[in-house]
Every structure is written in structure tokens, then in C-alpha cells.
């Protein structure tokens, strides 16, 4: 494997510095033409992103938000995909100063048995979830790759009356190509790994022990994942550790690197903003973006990579989540707990970070519906083999929305039948009536309407 990472072959710090010096001279007309380009859904180069990150003035910022809203609306429509994290082990050998699971934080650690995983999954399924993100700390003794494989098999083997967990994404520590092959063979959805911060000196300051303290090994994890056959990877930055402008550019460079080397960039980008946690040192976060900065950076990412899914967790408040959804977020978690075994036992013990949106899954689904947003439980692409470059081709041609909306409506109809009461079902019928005409193709609209009727009479797991 190439020796990426040294002297910034992927993330060249000096290059980023020069980029910002140059971007500071961007003229107003150039900013306008960058925004015109974004408005044509063409995405942006990292040079153009740098110019927008340094832009100021309320008029430009307003236009950034209005273009982000337009892209969100036209590419993703009124749907939002739902998922839930499932924490299976909080054993960890790393010392990441910002995290409640760091190895020097003393608390009673827990790893779920396969039976306990079944119980957690049963609770998640009873909430209506079909898409999970499996989360575990790094500990080769207590949480080896075999345990993750067993956990995945356990989840996929579970069968429920209303349907199964249909997609399990995995968020585990950077590992070897061999282990990525094993994860791929175990049928994972997206492999998720946050770089936390791309700024090497900051990375080294906040990761003070354990294998994760190796910046290069962490940064090249997606290269090994792709070489191991995983073609959907989800990146993220923990905003707050270093200057968000640097982090956004580094995210772009990382994605461009993967696209160049393997033909496919990030499938998703997560944008967690640092939160306090028991046992964590929030003082390491000297660069927490304000709400205004955070909204602007999310909008700029939306402009830059219009076809990449964007995810927020329950770290953000309900009010912020509402604003973030309107300018670009396409996936949110709901009714989440960030504790091992937390779905069966909601009593708070040790968590990775504090949750700001504590609403239940049904409250979140209700809230989205009130906002006329369609909560979607779709997992169709992964199950139809639309992953990696196949997915990207469909996304970049703009044709993905022709399947997202029908799938959103069908999965919502299924949710209404299986997890809700008559009053909710009436609301869903109303929402379906509003959105069905938005399906452009006559044939697809007809098929969706027919499938919804089939779902009402007992059919399940219909998708296109
Ligand atoms: Fe362990 Fe991950 Fe927390 Fe670091 S961030 S201490 S690797 S669980
Ligand atoms: Fe996601 Fe594909 Fe479903 Fe659209 S159709 S919501 S891209 S899984």
C-alpha cells in the first residue's frame, strides 16, 4: 500500500494554508460565480470551498443558505432517512481526551452478549428502526473483529413479524485490510470512521494514548477499507477540536483523494459538534463553531458535495436539527441512546457524549410529519447493490431522487401500519396524497400507489 499521509499526501497542511491565503483575495464577482455553479448542482472544488468559507457579509451568507436549501429540496426532496446507533461495547484502549469512553475514565465497562444484542435490537425494531449504526470502542481483547462479525450475523439473522433490521452500518476503529475484507463479507452497509480532526498537531494533542493516536494509520483507514472491498465509506469531523474552515477543506481533500484512487468519494459525511460527556475534557475543544458558523459550514458542504448524504446525530437540539435539515442534512438518528445496553435500560450510566435531542422516536417522527417532511426508513440501495460507484453514478445523474421518494412513501406507509395508531395512519395518508404527485414518472407513481395499497393489506419490504 502507498505510504499516504506523510507530509500530507492526503492532507497537506502547508497546501491548505496557502489555499486560504489565496482564497482571501477572492473577489465578490468570483464568489457569485461559485454560487452560480453550486446552484447548477455541479459541486465545488476545494479551492471554491475555501473561498466560500472565508466569505463574509450577510448577502453572501444568505445566498449560501438559499442555494443550500434549493439543492436539498431538489436532490433530496422532503424526505429524511432515519437511523439509530447501537452501542455494543464501551471497552476502549484509546485515550481520546474528548470522549467519555477513554481508557483512563473509570467506570464499569460493558460488552453486550449476543443475547443482549438481540434484546437491544428487538427494542429498536419495536420503535420502527430498519437501519442501525453499530458502534464499539477499540479493544482487541474484549472486542475483536470476530465479535463484530458475530454481532452483525446476530442482527441480520433476527426476524420480526413487521420486518427486520435491513441495514447495519459499522463504526469501529481503523483496522487492517484483512479485517475490512471480513467486515465486507459480513454484509456491512457503510463503514463509518470519523477523522475527528484532520489537523495533525491537534490530533496528536487530543489522542494521547492507544493505537488511535497514530494519525497516519487513522487517516489511511478508508484506503485499506476500499482495498478490502468496502465501497461505501462515511466520514466525519468532530467540529470543535480545530478551526472548522481547515476541517472542511481537509474533508474535501480526503474525499477527492478516494475518488482519484478508487473512483468513489465519501458516501456520507457526518457533522458532529463536540458535546460534553462524563469523564471527557471539553476544554480540549477550543474551536467550537457558533450556531451561525455551524449552519454556514453545513450549507457549504451541501453546496460542495450535493450528492453525498449528510448526517446529524442527537448531539444537536431539536431547534438546530430543524434548521440543519432545511439546508442539507439528509439523515438523522431518532430516539437514540449512546450507552451500551441503553435501549433496554434507559437509566443513564456511562455515555460517549451528551444527547441534546432526547425526544422518543415516535415524537421525532411526529415532529417531522408536522414539518411536512417524510420520515424514511428506506434501505433500498444497499439491498439492490446500488453501492460505491453504481450509487454515485445514479446520484450524480440526479436520478436517485426517482427512487428515494417512492421508497420513502412506501416505508412510511409500512411504519404507519406496524407501529402507529389510526390517527397517525390518517396523517400518513394525507402526507402521501401531498407527495405522491411529486413522483415524476407515471409508471413509478402508479407502482408506488399500488405498493402502498399492498402494504396496507399486509405485504412488507417493498422497494424500488
Ligand atoms: Fe475510544 Fe472512540 Fe472514545 Fe476514542 S472516541 S476513547 S476510540 S470510544
Ligand atoms: Fe438512500 Fe437509496 Fe433509499 Fe434513496 S433509495 S433513501 S439513496 S437507500
Ligand nearest to the CA of 279: 1
Range of 98-102, 280-284, 344-348 with top mean pLDDT: 98-102
Q: Parallel, antiparallel, or unpaired: how do β-strands 167-171 and 79-89 relate?
A: unpaired
Element containing residue 28 per DSSP (H, E)? helix 28-39
pLDDT tens figures, 58-76: 999 999 999 999 999 988 8
Task: Please give the full DSSP string across 297-335, using - where no structure is assigned.
Answer: HHHHHHHH-TTSEEEE-TTS-HHHHHHHHHHT--EEE-S
User: For the chain, which residues make up each domain, given as ranges?
Assistant: 73-377, 394-456
> Of 396, 409, 152, 355, whose CA–CA distance to 259 is shortest?
396
Q: How much distance in Å is there from the Cα of 31 to the middle of ligand 2?
A: 32
CB of 51 closer than 8 Å to CB of 31:
yes
**Ligand with the closest atom to the CA of 385:** 2
Q: Which ligand is nearest to the CA of 351?
A: 1
Supply φ then ψ for residue 83, to 5 degrees. -150, 170
Which triple of cell numbers denotes residue 428?
400518513
Question: Does the Cβ of 403 fall within 6 Å of ligand 2?
Answer: yes
The best mutation among 137, 143, 217 to test binding of ligand 1, ranked by most ligand atoms within 8 Å of the C-beta, falls on: 137
Domain 73-377 maps to which CATH number in 2.160.10.10, 3.40.50.1000, 3.40.50.150, 3.20.20.70?
Answer: 3.20.20.70
CA distance 389 to 116: 36
Place 356 in a pLDDT band, splitting at 50, 70 and 90.
Answer: low
Retrieve residue 203's grid coordinates. Answer: 490530533
Task: Give 462 Cα–ligand 2 centroid separation in angstroms.
Answer: 13
Mean pLDDT of 383-410: 87
Which residues sit with their C-beta closer than 6 Å to ligand 1? 92, 94, 96, 99, 101-102, 137-138, 173, 212
Closest listed residue to residue 40, CA positions, set 6, 64, 67, 69: 67
Residue 1 predicted with pLDDT over 60: no
- The residues, any chain, with a CB within 8 Å of residue 355's CB and separated by 6 or more, are 314, 315, 336, 337, 338
The verdict on pTM exceeding 0.75 is: yes
pLDDT for residue 5: 45
Of 91, 102, 142, 278, which is best to mutate to test ligand 1, by the most ligand atoms within 8 angstroms of its C-beta? 102
Closest-CA residue to 67 (of 44, 35, 27, 42)? 35
Please identify which residue in the block is written with the cell numbers 402508479. Answer: 446
Amino acid at each position: 500500500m502507498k505510504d499516504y499521509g506523510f507530509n500530507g499526501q492526503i492532507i497537506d497542511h502547508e497546501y491548505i494554508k496557502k489555499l486560504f491565503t489565496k482564497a482571501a483575495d477572492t473577489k465578490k464577482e468570483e464568489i457569485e460565480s461559485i454560487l452560480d455553479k453550486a446552484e447548477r448542482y455541479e459541486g465545488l472544488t476545494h479551492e471554491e470551498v475555501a473561498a466560500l468559507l472565508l466569505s463574509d457579509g450577510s448577502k453572501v451568507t444568505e445566498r449560501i443558505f438559499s442555494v443550500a436549501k434549493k439543492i436539498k429540496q431538489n436532490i433530496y426532496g422532503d424526505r429524511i432517512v432515519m437511523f439509530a446507533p447501537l452501542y455494543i461495547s464501551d471497552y476502549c484502549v484509546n485515550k481520546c481526551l474528548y470522549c467519555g469512553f477513554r481508557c483512563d475514565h473509570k467506570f464499569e465497562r460493558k460488552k453486550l452478549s449476543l443475547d443482549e444484542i438481540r434484546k437491544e435490537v428487538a427494542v429498536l425494531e419495536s420503535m420502527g428502526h430498519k437501519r442501525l449504526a453499530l458502534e464499539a470502542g477499540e479493544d482487541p481483547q474484549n472486542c475483536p473483529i470476530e465479535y463484530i462479525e458475530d454481532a452483525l450475523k446476530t442482527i441480520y439473522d433476527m426476524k420480526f413479524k413487521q420486518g427486520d433490521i435491513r441495514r447495519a452500518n459499522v463504526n469501529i476503529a481503523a483496522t487492517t485490510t484483512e479485517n475490512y475484507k471480513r467486515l465486507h463479507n459480513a454484509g456491512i452497509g457503510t463503514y463509518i470512521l470519523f477523522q475527528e480532526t484532520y489537523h495533525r498537531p491537534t490530533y496528536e494533542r487530543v489522542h494521547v494514548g492507544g493505537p488511535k493516536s497514530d494519525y497516519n494509520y487513522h487517516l489511511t483507514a478508508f484506503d485499506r477499507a476500499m482495498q478490502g472491498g468496502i465501497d461505501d465509506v462515511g466520514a466525519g469531523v468532530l467540529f470543535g477540536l480545530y478551526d472548522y474552515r481547515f476541517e472542511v477543506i481537509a474533508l474535501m481533500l480526503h474525499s477527492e483523494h478516494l475518488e482519484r484512487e478508487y473512483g468513489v468519494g465519501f458516501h456520507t459525511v457526518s457533522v458532529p459538534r463536540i458535546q460534553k460527556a462524563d469523564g471527557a475534557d471539553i476544554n480540549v475543544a477550543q474551536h467550537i463553531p457558533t450556531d451561525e458558523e455551524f449552519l454556514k459550514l453545513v450549507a457549504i458542504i451541501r453546496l460542495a458535495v450535493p450528492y453525498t448524504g449528510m448526517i446529524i446525530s442527537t448531539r444537536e437540539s431539536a431547534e438546530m436539527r430543524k434548521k440543519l435539515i432545511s439546508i442539507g442534512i439528509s439523515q438523522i438518528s431518532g430516539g437514540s441512546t449512546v450507552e451500551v445496553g441503553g435501549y433496554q435500560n434507559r437509566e443513564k450510566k456511562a455515555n460517549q457524549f451528551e444527547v441534546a435531542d432526547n425526544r422518543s422516536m415516535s415524537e421525532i417522527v411526529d415532529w417531522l410529519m408536522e414539518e411536512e417532511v417524510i420520515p424514511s426508513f428506506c434501505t433500498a440501495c444497499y439491498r439492490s447493490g446500488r453501492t460505491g460507484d453504481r450509487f454515485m453514478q445514479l446520484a450524480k445523474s440526479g436520478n436517485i431522487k426517482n427512487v428515494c421518494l417512492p421508497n420513502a412513501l412506501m416505508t412510511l406507509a409500512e411504519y404507519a401500519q406496524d407501529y402507529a395508531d389510526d390517527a397517525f395512519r390518517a396523517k400518513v395518508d394525507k402526507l402521501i396524497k401531498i407527495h405522491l404527485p411529486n413522483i415524476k414518472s407515471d409508471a413509478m407513481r402508479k407502482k408506488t400507489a399500488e405498493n402502498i395499497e399492498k402494504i396496507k393489506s399486509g405485504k412488507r419490504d417493498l422497494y424500488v
